[in-house]
Amino acid sequence: MSEQAAAERIAKPLPHPDAASEPFFAGARRGELMLQRCADCRACRLNALPRCDACRSPRFAWERASGRATLVSWGVMHQRYHPAFYDELPYLLAVVELEEGPRLPTRLAETQPAALRAGLPLRVVFEEIGEGIVLPKFAPA
């Protein structure tokens, strides 16, 4: 079987939202990037955690992020790590810093490697990847 035929038969691995992360994924389905904000110190966090990283408070609320970010680091992925992604090679992986502070590992969209530079302003875009799962990606603002 050819690599292409194998890629067509193998589904992409999908995240499995749990009770803690469901507000993030529900927001993405609505086209909203959601973050947790501490009710005590107001720090934002991206990972759905039971306590604030800054002050250890258990009190938080989910809120919509601005969707604006800056490019911190990136790489062009050429390696074939998983057959379901073969037809997307090469693709761009990045770390972006959200306007609210947290950093997010993500994929870049609507751009080419030659156009990238540290500090590049970005905006969130969303992509449905299957089975009702929508993920944020970032594109030049």
As a whole number of angstroms, the longest Cα–Cα distance in the chain is 57
Alpha-carbon distances of 114 from 74, 75, 76, 128, 137, rounded to whole Å: 12, 11, 11, 26, 18
> In terms of residue numbers, what domain contains 125?
16-140
Quick check: is 6 in a domain? no
Does 2 fall in a domain?
no
Residue 8 forms part of a structural domain: no
CB 99, CB 81: distance < 8 Å: no
Q: Could you tell me if residue 48 is inside a domain?
A: yes
pLDDT category at 2 given cuts 50, 70, 90 is low
Encode pLDDT of 25-57 as tens digits: 999 999 999 999 999 999 999 888 889 999 999
Give me the number of domains the chain comprises.
Answer: 1
Look at strands 68-77 and 60-64 and give their pairing. unpaired
The encoded tokens of residue 69 equal 């970010």
pLDDT of residue 7: 47
Share of the chain above pLDDT 70, in %: 94
The answer to whether position 94 is within a domain reads yes
Q: Which residue matches tokens 């499995």? A: 16
In-domain check, residue 11: no
Residue pLDDT, tens place only, 71-128: 999 999 999 888 988 988 999 999 999 999 999 999 999 999 999 999 999 999 999 9
pTM of the model: 0.87
